Amino acid sequence: MRKILFLCTMILNISISANNDEINRILASIEQNNGNLKALRIEADARIEGNREEMMPDDPEAEFAYLWGSPHEIGKRQDVNVSQGFDIPLITGMKKKVVSRENELVELNHQSERTHLLLEAKKLCIELIYNNALRDQQDKQLQWVEHVADAYRKQYEKGNIGTLAYNNVQLYLTEIKHEVSRMGIEQKRILSELKRLNGGIAVELTGTQYDLHPLPADFEQWFGQMEQKNPMLKYAYKESELNTYRIKVAKKANLPRFSVGYLMENVVGERYQGVTLGISVPLWRNSQRLQQAKSEAKASEMHAATMRQEFYDAFRAIYQQAQGLQQLILDYHASMRLYDNAELLEKALDLGNISIMDYISEKRLYYERITKVLEAERDYELLYAELTYVEL
């Protein structure tokens, strides 16, 4: 297996050079300039600050009473009462553990949004590299067809070739020009999308080749590693863990709440002051909260298990599809290296050994094969980006 992977890497790198630096540079710029990511970061920070309020005790209560006596001779009375309430989940630190995990979920949600946006940008970069490579091939093709068309025009003007051959060359030239124009339009569209993601700042990506990496040999081992990095799976696991703590909080919330305070009573010629203790027994308010927490915990466990299975099945399918494309790319490169007739066609046409129709037909087949190679490389890169997006 190691020999196969080594051979795969060598063959792929015959005509493939690294463009990771260009892509990584663009992704870093988008992460810095994208307005949605900035807003998501601010929103996440705000939610974290809001969650921290749950760790705070209840606000203290203060009462002041000024009472007039009746009859007037008994004088006036002043009461001052200050108290602070506490609940068991707060005292035991259980609320702090819940808030800590809630904030982890906020960060994981932000991370998920970030990686999906960067994945979108990376796919656009992959499409642009494919477009650049195809445009490069078409420019070479156009250059040669223009040379042939010019030669045939001169021969036609001298009466050495017929109208049919001349028209076929001109039609082929027009077809290639249209393809070059179409690819130029597509390049502008992709660059416009990248500019949008980059906060309105234009980007440049001129690469025409991919830095393809062989797939990991052991899918199970690789998925186990990706599972630990996947923000959506981690979110599901953490949410299930959070709900177990919420059950504990709900149980402790059924215990009495306590309050401690200071009371001062001032009447004519007399004054009373001292400490007050209070207790609140939750008879009705929390009656369904524990059952709700248990139901939510059960649902989150089922959700996490289902999500993991869905991710596993989806990644397994993508992995198998990428395996097929990897082998297809190997076959394409091997066949084109062994059976490249490009130079032979040029010589045969120059020597008059083949007709212009045969030449055009063979050149079309040649560029169709090149296009299929480029498409296979692009599709492989898109699949590999899907498989490894958690590393962005």
- Per residue in 295-307, pLDDT tens? 888 888 888 889 8
Count the Cβ atoms, other than its own, within 10 Å of residue 386.
Answer: 17
User: What mean pLDDT is reported for the chain?
Assistant: 83
Given a contact cutoff of 8 angstroms between Cβ atoms, the answer to whether 195 and 202 are in contact is yes
Which string of b and e fits 303-330 if b means at least 16 CB within 10 Å? ebeebbeebeeebeeebeebeebbebbb
Provide the 8-state DSSP code for 127. H
Distance CA 112, CA 107 (A): 9
pLDDT at residue 217, as a whole number: 87
pLDDT at residue 382, as a whole number: 94
Q: How confident is the model at residue 121 (pLDDT cuts 50, 70, 90)?
A: very high
Task: Report whether pLDDT(12) > 60.
Answer: no
Assign 146 to helix, strand or coil: helix
Q: Token pair for residue 204?
A: 């440049």
**pLDDT tens digits for 291-334?**
777 888 888 888 888 989 999 999 999 999 999 999 998 888 88
Residue range 2-27: mean pLDDT, rounded: 56
Is the C-alpha dihedral spanning 156, 149, 368, 193 positive or negative? negative
**pLDDT tens digits for 372-385?**
899 999 999 999 99
Least confident of 11-15, 91-95, 184-188, 303-307: 11-15
Residue range 112-120: mean pLDDT, rounded: 94
**pLDDT tens digits for 49-106?**
888 877 777 778 888 888 887 777 777 888 888 888 777 777 777 778 888 888 888 9
Q: How many residues does the chain have?
A: 392
Q: Token pair for residue 36?
A: 């949605």
pTM higher than 0.85, yes or no?
A: no
Least confident of 144-153, 183-192, 349-358: 349-358
Distance CA 110, CA 87 (A): 32
Percent of the chain with pLDDT over 70: 92
Given a contact cutoff of 8 angstroms between Cβ atoms, the answer to whether 74 and 264 are in contact is no
Given a contact cutoff of 8 angstroms between Cβ atoms, the answer to whether 122 and 27 are in contact is yes
Given a contact cutoff of 8 angstroms between Cβ atoms, the answer to whether 217 and 94 are in contact is no
Pick left, alpha or beta for residue 198 (phi over 0 → left; psi -120 to 50 → alpha; otherwise beta). alpha
Task: Report whether pLDDT(197) > 60.
Answer: yes
> What residue has token string 């502008």?
188
**pLDDT tens digits for 60-72?**
888 888 888 777 7
Count the Cβ atoms, other than its own, within 10 Å of residue 248.
Answer: 16
Given a contact cutoff of 8 angstroms between Cβ atoms, the answer to whether 17 and 209 are in contact is yes
Q: How confident is the model at residue 10 (pLDDT cuts 50, 70, 90)?
A: very low
Given a contact cutoff of 8 angstroms between Cβ atoms, the answer to whether 81 and 235 are in contact is no
The runs of H, that is alpha helices, within 158-230 are: 163-197, 219-229
Backbone φ, ψ for residue 276 (5° rounding): -120, 145
Distance CA 293, CA 250 (A): 7
pLDDT at residue 286, as a whole number: 66
Residue range 241-261: mean pLDDT, rounded: 79
Higher model confidence: residue 229 or residue 280? 229
Backbone φ, ψ for residue 79 (5° rounding): -120, 135
Percent of the chain with pLDDT over 90: 29
The domains of the chain, with CATH numbers, are 2-57+92-129+180-255+288-391 (1.20.1600.10)
Task: Report whether pLDDT(2) > 60.
Answer: no
pLDDT at residue 357, as a whole number: 76
Read out DSSP for 286-319? TTTHHHHHHHHHHHHHHHHHHHHHHHHHHHHHHH
**pLDDT tens digits for 266-300?**
887 788 888 888 887 776 666 677 777 788 888 88
Distance CA 15, CA 11 (A): 8
pLDDT at residue 85, as a whole number: 79
Given a contact cutoff of 8 angstroms between Cβ atoms, the answer to whether 389 and 115 are in contact is yes
Count the Cβ atoms, other than its own, within 10 Å of residue 392.
Answer: 17
pLDDT at residue 339, as a whole number: 61
**pLDDT tens digits for 162-182?**
888 888 888 888 988 998 999
